[in-house]
Structure formats: C-alpha cells, structure tokens
Structure 1
Amino acid sequence: MARLRVHRVAEELKKEIAQMIRTEVKDPRIGFSTVTRVDLANDLQHAKVFVSVFGNDEEKQATLTALQKAAGFIRGEVGRRLRLRLTPELVFKLDESGEYSEHINTVIKRLHEHDQNE
C-alpha cells in the first residue's frame, strides 16, 4: 500500500516539475528537455529526476547545471502545489535511455543488413 502512494507522488512530481521547467524556470541555458521519470525514495525525502535533453553534450551539461541551480526554487514550488509535509530533495540526472535504444536499433539494423548481404 505504501509503495502505491510513493508511485502516485512520483507521478505528480513528474507532472509538476515538467510543467514548471516548461513555463516558470526562465534560465536560457535550459534547452529542449523532457522529464522522463522520477525515482522517489520510500520515505519520500529524496527524488532523482531524470531529464532527457535534445542537443549536443555541451547543451546537455548546460541544461543539467541550470536545473541543479533551480532545484531549490522547483522544490519549494512543488511543496506548495502538492501540499507535502516533507518535500523531497531533488537531484537532476540525464536520462540517456533514448540514445541507448537508438544505438541498439542501429546495431540491429547493421546486423540485419549484414545477414541479408551474405
């Protein structure tokens, strides 16, 4: 039962953080980014926010740095909006699962093409 609450809070965090990044965080270093998932600890005190960023490595790092700088503002707003007694500490991480899956697809295509050529 407790895990269900953690999952629901994580989904609400994801929705609110994504909306705040899109509309309220006015840092020009933040590029085109998407909040892909939020991993929330069972005690609701720590949250890893995974963000997918479109761009090169330099733009990704700049976006991640800007989000870390805005983490305090985002945390305060999330606490007010969701009315949580304890607002989790936010840590932003790059989500590179999209790039990894693209790499896997490329390898599979090459193998498939190689098999057809033989």
Structure 2
Amino acid sequence: MASVAFERVRAKIKSEAARILMTDLKDPRMGFVTVIDVDLSRDFRHATIHVSILADHEGEERRILKALDSAKGFVQREIAGRLRTRTTPLIEFQQSKGAQQSIKINSLLDQLAEERKEREAREAREAARAAGEDDEASTEPE
C-alpha cells in the first residue's frame, strides 16, 4: 500500500504536469493532450506520465508525441520547481490509448444504434404493407 506522502507527490506531479502542458508549454505542435495518470517509482527517481492524445490521424499523433518528448526537460524543470522533494523524478511520457478506444467504441455503438433504428423502421413498413395486403384480401368478394 502506498504511503500518504507517496500518493501526495504522485498526485502533485499529475496536476502540475497537466497544468504545465495546458498553460505553460507554448509549442505549436502540441494538440489536445490530457494527463491521465502518473506512475512514480518508490524512490521518487522516475515518473511515467500517461497522456491521452486527441488527434485526427496517426501522423498528427506522432507529431504531438515528438513535441512531448522535446518538452520533457522543460516539464521536468517546471515540476522540480513546484515539488518539495529531495529528488526530482526523471519523467517519461507514455501515450494511453484508452480515450481513443473509448471514442471509437462510442462511434461504433452510435452506428449500430442507427442501423438498428433503420432496420426496425424498414420492418415496420414491411409489416404495415403486409397488413394492408391482408386487409385488401379479406375485403374482396368471393
């Protein structure tokens, strides 16, 4: 179980990294990046910052990852100035695909719902048409 101090430092790194990426980093290559989580080593020497990248295509995603990699030193210095620990962790950015997968799943679910709605409407029209033909057959004189 993690100590209170450990969790406090981990949470501080997460919030400060998010703030730095959102407000302090002025790289035009940066897109929409969200800090999802932080893994911190027990000795406070290494931190992996898990980020979610919202990009239209894979090329843009790679461009944003390169921008994050080149900003690593700046982000680390900023975090060092805001933490009150003896050591500052070396940071590493790692992309989390969870948000993208969630968006893709929601899109597929929306598509399935639309297809179901269309199928049900088509079946209702066919049933109404068949019921209309049955009514005509029953009203015809024998």
Normalising by structure 1, report the TM-score: 0.82
Structure 1 pair 60–3 and aligned structure 2 pair: CA distance change class (3 A)? farther
State yes or no: 1:58 paired with 2:59: yes
Give the equivalent residue in structure 2 for 1:89.
90
Q: How does 1:22-101 map to 2 (within 5 A)?
A: 22-55=22-55, 56-101=57-102
Q: Confirm whether residue 12 of structure 1 aligns to residue 12 of structure 2.
A: yes
Instruction: Point out 4+ residue stretches in structure 1 off by more than 4 angstroms.
Output: 102-105
Cα-to-partner distance string for 1:46-100 (whole Å, 9 max, x where unaligned): 1110111111211111111111111111111111111221000100011101223
Q: CA deviation digits over 1:29-55, x for unaligned, max 9?
A: 110111111111111111110111111
2-structure distance, mates of 1:100, 1:4: 32
* Bigger relative contact order (CA 8 A; separation at least 6): 1
Structure 2: tracts of 5 or more residues without a match: 121-142
Aligned equivalents of 1:58 and 1:3: distance in 2? Answer: 40
What is the number of residues matched between the two proteins? 117
Letter of the structure 2 residue corresponding to residue 89 of structure 1? L
Which amino acid in structure 1 is aligned with residue 95 of structure 2?
Answer: L
Q: Which stretch shifts more, 84-93 or 4-13?
A: 4-13
Separation in 1 of the partners of 2:64 and 2:48?
16
Alpha-carbon offset, residue 6 of structure 1: 2.0
CA contact (8 A) 1:3 1:42 kept: no
Report which of the two structures shows the higher radius of gyration computed on alpha carbons. 2
CA RMSD of aligned residues (A): 2.5
8 A Cα contact 1:29 1:66, kept in partner: yes
CA distance in structure 1 between the partners assigned to 2:51 and 2:42 by the alignment: 21
Counting aligned pairs with the same residue, the percent is: 38
TM-score by length of 2: 0.69
* Contact 2:54–2:100 under 8 Å retained in 1: no
Equivalent in the alignment of 2:140: none
Q: Distance in 2 between matches of 1:96 and 1:68?
A: 17
Unaligned 5+ runs, structure 1 = none
